[in-house]
Chains A and B, each alone.
Chain A
């Protein structure tokens, strides 16, 4: 079974530029998550999709960040314009479905390491 795919793996941009990340979840997984992980910290949830609908985006800085999952499969996360404090690893994860009381393990992709200079 193929894992969660992300691209690019690394990206270096200057502040005020824009950048986009792509994620392809595990086939059949309805739920997709984007996390931001700053060096030395745990991942922080940015946005959560169930199929092509947003379940939670309360921690997404909506003035500069946007995400979409138009067909309920692939997803893109965009930052425009980028700030220095956006330097982090952006992780995509997927799970079969929202929890119904049982385990809903999240499978993580390799991440995109963003450096804003």
Chain B
């Protein structure tokens, strides 16, 4: 099975840092994606982790621990445009399974 758990909502202030956690249970794990989805729009790719460790890409970083079934997405220096849903997705046998998403609200 592939239970993917992430918090439903998070709120943070502009300029701050927010960490979105994702835990998963899956066999045959290939890798883990993070996607951003603004309301009414399609998901867009943020990051992909296949090995343990931290991947940094500008203001966004993603971490993976395969032994713990755990990942997080770190959003730094938050901007109003970062208000969106963040989807954790696990790949197994080339298929993607998504979590329900975490809605991040950035306040001025």
B70 is an interface residue with CB less than 8 A from chain A: no
- Known contacts A42-B89, A103-B48; decide if A110 and B42 are in contact (CB<8 Å): yes
Q: Are A55 and B45 in contact (CB under 8 A)?
A: no
The residues in B between 1 and 59 inclusive whose CB is less than 8 angstroms from any CB of A are: 4, 30-31, 33, 41-45, 48, 50
B78 is an interface residue with CB less than 8 A from chain A: no
In the complex, which range does the number of interface residues on chain A fall in?
20 to 34
Partner of B42, one of A33, A55, A91: A91
Q: Are B98 and A43 in contact (CB under 8 A)?
A: yes
Residues in chain A near residue B41, CB distance under 8 A: 110
In the complex, which range does the number of interface residues on chain B fall in?
20 to 34
Name B residues whose Cβ lies closer than 8 Å to a Cβ of A: 4, 30-31, 33, 41-45, 48, 50, 87, 89, 91, 94-101
Name A residues whose Cβ lies closer than 8 Å to a Cβ of B: 4, 33, 40-45, 48, 55-56, 91, 98-99, 103-111
Q: What are the 4 closest A-B residue pairs judged by CB atoms, nearest first?
A: A42-B98, A108-B42, A99-B94, A105-B45
